[in-house]
Amino acid sequence: MLARLAALLAAALVLPGCAAVATADGQRLALTSPDFRAYVERVFREQNRLADELAFALEDSAAAPAGLVAAEQSLLEACAGVNELATARRDERQLGARHSVRAARSVPVCEQVTRSAATALEAAHKN
């Protein structure tokens, strides 16, 4: 029984380190790889830039299109984990293994929602 508990504990510690995430383009990146860190930073920068653009578009528009309001809200919700990872990194703070993995697995969703929000913003600019 003690050996089984030790094996479960060892697996719990190893799995987050070898877990991988599939990007929106289908590329699989190990959570502990430099490529994944670069991916998170790229997605963070892009969603941050787009969030700023959305905020300015909503501020400039007397009657903000409902699609832009929804796009901004979706972006904020989908990218909360990415923002948390970036903030923790900036503050040199550890989130804990489970929390880090959960936030890391949200990055592809953030990437997809960022792309959708960019499309909504482009459509609003055309109108």
**DSSP states along the chain:** -HHHHHHHHHHHHHHHHH-EEE-TTS-EEETTSHHHHHHHHHHHHHHHHHHHHHHHHHHH-SS--HHHHHHHHHHHHHTHHHHHHHHHHHTT----HHHHHHHHHTHHHHHHHHHHHHHHHHHHHH-
Contacts of 114 (CB under 8 A, 6+ apart): 43, 46, 47, 50, 75, 78, 79
Average pLDDT over residues 19-37: 90
What's the pLDDT band for 54 if we cut at 50, 70, 90? very high
Give the start-to-end residue ranges of the domains of the chain.
Answer: 2-126
What's the pLDDT band for 45 if we cut at 50, 70, 90? very high
Closest CA to 16 of 83, 107, 105: 105
Per-residue pLDDT tens for 3-14?
A: 443 333 333 344
Q: Select the more confidently predicted residue: 34 or 62.
A: 34
